[in-house]
Amino acid sequence: GAGVSQSPRYKVAKRGQDVALRCDPISGHVSLFWYQQALGQGPEFLTYFQNEAQLDKSGLPSDRFFAERPEGSVSTLKIQRTQQEDSAVYLCASSLASEGTGELFFGEGSRLTVL
């Protein structure tokens, strides 16, 4: 593809529902990052994958958040039992570099609204 693709672009969930957000990185990119961006704030780190290995998940706010990248390509961020405070834009970024020193290529984001 031409760039990082995220779906869905918009998701409205009722409190307590589970949601799954998908990220399709640029082909061949080793690193994949998930960020959470609340309104008026900068992107906050959630988790990092190098190929299929989740090397850092220190930013996940609770055990309701889970991410995977089983084949080292597409990644899914799952949020269980959504709460209103989970409302945010979830950004996925990929990089050719094996560490975060390279340029990050971002998707357009998935905007989650929890009612």
- Name which of 9 and 15 has its Cβ closer to another protein: 9
Given the rule CB under 8 A, which of 11-19, 22-30, 78-86, 101-109 is the region that contacts another protein? 101-109
- Name which of 4 and 79 has its Cβ closer to another protein: 4
Neighbours of 87 (CB within 10 A): 16
Nearest-CA neighbor of 30 among 90, 103, 108, 91?
Answer: 103
Peptide bond into 61 cis (omega under 30): no
What residues make contact with another protein under the rule CB under 8 A? 3-4, 33, 35, 40-45, 48, 56, 91, 93, 99-101, 103-109
